[in-house]
């Protein structure tokens, strides 16, 4: 049953096969597996290193983020503070501007009031003058100018005295009769006679029309003045208007 | 029907005979070598590998795992010997499905040759591990009188190794042959299929037993080393 030559041949064959398989199978396969394991290990190591590096980066960026957040909070607080200061400044400025505008407005109102009053005064004068003239003409068939002249003559008579006469006599510019209207010759004559009769005898009387006199007549000489005009009444009326306007403005402010 | 492929002689020059055992052994050697060469000439160390490389890697690592499980040592030293035993016997048995093929393992000469290889390799590995003196001292353990029994045990297990493989493979062929003459239609196919399974199991058993013998030879030295370290 056992062929010893075959046994020997098979031993040799087996040993050759061991060598061949070691050369062509086990060696290359194990080398490939080892190489792959090395590669995988290297890759794992590389990944671990990258992971560590990534963690470091994460920590770095986390720290940066925290710093950034802290800086942002600080800047935000600073900005709020600056904004508050700026807001207060702006508010103060706005308040100042409002005050200025208010002042200017008040001044403007005052100016308008003055203009209005001046205009009112002029209109009132014209109106009063016209009404009075018409009333007197209707009632007594006389004009207002005549009444004014009469009032002056009455006052000249009342002012008769040594002191007045002395003052007027020494007047370097003479005696001036100023009226707000043109006096007719007859009335001039009447006034001149009254002056010579009751005040000064040998002095010329000069007649002028003055726009400064409001509906009236004045006798001037050496600082002495007698006369009558509407200015006093108008001043009183103006004061009443002023009081009324002030009261109205006060209510408007409230 | 021939009991052994040794009896199929193609050429003879005196004592030198070229029988079917040797010829089919060469066929298996060529098949294994060329197959390995074709696959391993383009090995890839990357993670993406070819299907055949994957199969061979699985096979080799499986053999390594088996060796490590038995010996508890690094497998590379024993892999060529034990792995070749397994691959040769397995391929030899699996090719029985090829018509006109005669499995070399069905020859007692082949199994004896393989058993002799194990018989020689066992003390060689033992000596490599523990030295000449250390190995042979294991034969007179626990007493000198155990020497003949140890030698008998060594020879008998080698003989058992050879006869077991031969008996299984030869019986498989015999049963297939007998059944072919009795019930030629169905049963031979089943027996052939069972023969493939038996062939693989026998290859595994032969390789594992070889590794167990080698491991036991080295275990003696290891036990001694442990005892010395404990003292």
Q: Considering only CA atoms, which of A105, A192, A103 is closest in space to residue A152? A: A192
User: pLDDT class for B25, splitting at 50, 70, 90?
Assistant: very high
Domain span at B112: 5-230
Burial class of residue B101 in the structure, from the number of CB atoms within 10 Å of its CB (0-12 exposed, 13-18 middle, 19+ buried): middle
**Separation of alpha carbons A127 and B41, rounded Å:** 135
Q: Is the dihedral of CA B101, B103, B106, B109 positive or negative?
A: positive
* Closest CB to A3 among B60, B84, B109: B109
Burial class of residue B65 in the structure, from the number of CB atoms within 10 Å of its CB (0-12 exposed, 13-18 middle, 19+ buried): exposed
Residues A47/A53/A56/A62 CA torsion (nearest 10 deg):
-80
Mean of the pLDDT values across residues A91-112? Answer: 92
At residue A11, does pLDDT exceed 80?
yes
Is some CB atom of chain B closer than 8 A to the CB atom of A20?
Answer: yes
Backbone angles phi, psi at A202, to 5 degrees: -105, 50
**Separation of alpha carbons A79 and A69, rounded Å:** 15
Q: Quote the tokens at residue A107.
A: 């001044």
Mean of the pLDDT values across residues A236-249? Answer: 74
* Closest CB to B117 among A11, A21, A32: A11
Note the ipTM here.
0.88
Mean of the pLDDT values across residues A31-48? Answer: 91
- pLDDT, one tens digit per residue, over B118-177 is 989 988 888 888 788 877 877 787 788 888 888 888 888 888 877 887 787 777 777 777
User: pLDDT class for A140, splitting at 50, 70, 90?
Assistant: low
Beta strands A175-179; A205-209: pairing state: parallel
**Tokens 């036990």, residue?**
B223
* Closest CB to B45 among A2, A8, A32: A32
- What CATH fold (topology level) applies to the domain A143-233? Dihydrodipicolinate Reductase; domain 2 (3.30.360)
Distances B156 to A138, B54, B159, B213 between C-alpha atoms, Å? 178, 39, 5, 12
Most B-contacting residue of A22, A26, A43 (CB-CB within 10 A), to test interface: A26
- pLDDT, one tens digit per residue, over A111-135 is 888 888 888 877 877 787 778 767 7
Q: Quote the tokens at residue A175.
A: 């005696």
Interchain pair B33, A1: CB under 8 A: no
Structural domain total, chain B: 1
- pLDDT, one tens digit per residue, over A187-206 is 888 888 888 887 777 777 88
Q: Considering only CA atoms, which of B86, B125, B23 is closest in space to residue A21? A: B86
Is some CB atom of chain A closer than 8 A to the CB atom of B91?
Answer: no
Provide the pLDDT for residue A133: 67
């Amino acid at each position: 049953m056992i062929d010893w030559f075959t046994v020997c041949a098979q031993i040799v064959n087996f040993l050759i096969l061991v060598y061949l398989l070691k050369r062509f199978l086990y060696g290359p396969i194990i080398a490939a597996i080892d190489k792959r394991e090395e590669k995988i290990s290297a890759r794992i190591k590389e990944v671990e290193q990258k992971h560590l590096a990534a963690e470091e980066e994460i920590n770095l960026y986390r720290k940066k983020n925290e710093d950034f957040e802290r800086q942002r909070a600080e800047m935000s607080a600073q900005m709020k503070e600056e904004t508050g200061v700026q807001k207060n400044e702006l508010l103060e400025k706005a308040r100042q501007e409002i005050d200025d505008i208010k002042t200017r407005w008040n001044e403007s109102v005052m100016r308008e009031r003055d203009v209005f009053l001046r205009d009112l005064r002029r209109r009132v004068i014209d109106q009063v003058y016209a009404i009075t003239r018409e009333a007197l003409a209707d009632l007594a068939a006389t004009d207002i100018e005549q009444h004014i002249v009469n009032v002056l003559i009455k006052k000249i008579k009342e002012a008769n005295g040594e002191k007045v006469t002395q003052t007027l006599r020494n007047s370097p510019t003479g005696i001036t009769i100023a009226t707000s209207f043109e006096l007719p010759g007859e009335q001039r004559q009447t006034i001149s006679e009254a002056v010579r009769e009751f005040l000064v005898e040998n002095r010329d009387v000069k007649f002028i029309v003055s726009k400064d006199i409001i509906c009236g007549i004045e006798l001037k000489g050496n600082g002495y003045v007698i006369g009558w005009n509407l200015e006093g009444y108008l001043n009183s009326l103006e004061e009443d208007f002023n009081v009324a306007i002030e009261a109205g403005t006060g209510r408007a402010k409230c | 029907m021939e009991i052994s492929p040794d009896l199929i002689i193609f050429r003879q020059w005196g004592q030198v005979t070229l029988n079917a055992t040797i010829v089919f052994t060469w066929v298996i050697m060529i098949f294994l070598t060329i197959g390995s060469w074709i696959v391993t000439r383009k090995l890839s160390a990357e993670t993406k590998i070819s299907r055949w490389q994957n199969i061979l890697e699985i096979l080799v690592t499986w053999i390594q795992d088996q060796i490590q499980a038995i010996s508890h040592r690094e497998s590379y030293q024993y892999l060529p010997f034990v792995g070749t035993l397994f691959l040769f016997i397995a391929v030899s048995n699996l090719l029985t499905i090829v018509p006109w093929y005669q499995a070399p393992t069905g020859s007692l000469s082949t199994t004896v040759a393989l058993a002799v290889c194990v018989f020689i390799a066992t003390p060689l590995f033992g000596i490599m591990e523990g030295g000449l003196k250390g190995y042979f001292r294991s034969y007179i353990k626990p007493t000198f009188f155990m020497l003949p029994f140890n030698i008998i045990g060594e020879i008998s297990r080698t003989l058992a190794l050879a006869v077991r493989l031969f008996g299984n493979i030869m019986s498989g062929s015999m049963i297939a042959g007998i059944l072919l003459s009795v019930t030629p239609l169905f049963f031979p196919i089943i027996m052939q299929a069972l023969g493939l399974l038996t062939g693989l199991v026998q290859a595994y058993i032969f390789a594992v037993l070889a590794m167990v013998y080698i491991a036991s030879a080295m275990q003696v030295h290891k036990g001694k080393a442990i005892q010395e370290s404990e003292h």
